[in-house]
């Protein structure tokens, strides 16, 4: 009996082609060298989260977990739902936030781009999202509230972060999603702007950014910032009825909006 070894035909050979964003990751790492956040494999993500043991929250893109690096630093790990797409929003966040360095911008420490597995590893923000401190659906005695003085400091901190994104970076960044949920607070309630998935980068000479629905300017962030301030005031007013005091504390917010 003669056995014939079968070889795959030319038509059956599948050539692997790098995705556009895989190439973008590699280019990003080459161009930024030691400044770029370290790239992790998905096995690293499982390790630092102890197999996703402590979940901090669930949002539209996936889950948020608490982790610990080898140097014992606590981190926040955003694990994206598996996707077959190119991951443009994901890479926007990696590239965008890696270009920033400011006390009011959250620091990206690591990232994972491992096939369809994607995750972002940020500095740990022990007080979580600003959102939970201003939306008061529960009875007053159960609410976790902040004094007006602290709310004012948070608003000023966010305005400084926005001014940095628009004027302080070598590449201007338009965030596109400024809202209380995307403002994180550390142990001292210092605010840090996060979630750069929708962010767009443009040169400092450009006044507008082209998107698929037209063009927009950094002023859209200023508008969102203003709406966030009004949400803070309204959220407090709905519970404590402190309209006069709120007006006093935020009377010159308009000057901040104009300056940005």
DSSP letter for 165, please.
Answer: I
3-state helix, strand, coil in the chain (%, to 5): 40, 20, 40
Tokens read off for 70: 């080898």
Query: Which of these is catalytic: 114, 177, 195, 244?
Result: 177
Query: 87 and 113 in contact (C-beta within 8 Å)?
Result: yes
195 is catalytic: no
Helix (H) or strand (E) run with residue 88 in it: helix 88-98
Element (H, E) at 185: strand 183-185
In angstroms, rounded to a whole number, what is the distance separating the alpha carbons of residues 119 and 214? 30
> Hey, which residues are catalytic here?
177
């Amino acid at each position: 009996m003669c056995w014939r070894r079968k070889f795959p035909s030319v038509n059956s050979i599948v050539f692997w082609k790098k995705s556009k964003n895989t190439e973008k990751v590699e280019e990003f790492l080459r161009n930024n060298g030691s400044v770029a956040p370290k790239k992790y494999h998905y096995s690293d993500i499982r390790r630092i989260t102890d197999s996703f043991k402590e979940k901090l929250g669930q949002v539209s893109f996936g889950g948020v977990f608490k982790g610990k690096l080898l140097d014992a630093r606590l981190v926040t790990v955003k694990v994206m739902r598996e996707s077959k797409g190119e991951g443009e929003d994901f890479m926007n966040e990696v590239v965008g936030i890696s270009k920033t360095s400011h006390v009011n911008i959250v620091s990206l420490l690591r990232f994972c781009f491992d096939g369809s597995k994607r995750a972002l590893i940020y500095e740990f923000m022990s007080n979580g999202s600003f959102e939970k401190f201003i939306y008061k659906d529960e009875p007053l005695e159960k609410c976790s509230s902040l004094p007006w003085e602290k709310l004012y400091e948070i608003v000023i901190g966010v305005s400084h972060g926005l001014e940095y994104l628009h004027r302080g970076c070598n590449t201007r960044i338009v965030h596109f999603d400024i809202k209380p949920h995307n403002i994180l607070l550390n142990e001292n309630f210092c605010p840090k702007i996060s979630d750069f998935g929708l962010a767009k980068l443009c040169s400092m000479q450009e006044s507008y950014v082209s998107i698929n629905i037209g063009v927009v300017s950094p002023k859209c962030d200023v508008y969102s910032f203003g709406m966030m301030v009004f949400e803070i005031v309204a959220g407090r007013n709905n519970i404590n009825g402190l309209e006069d005091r709120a007006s006093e504390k935020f009377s010159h917010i308009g000057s901040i909006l104009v300056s940005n």
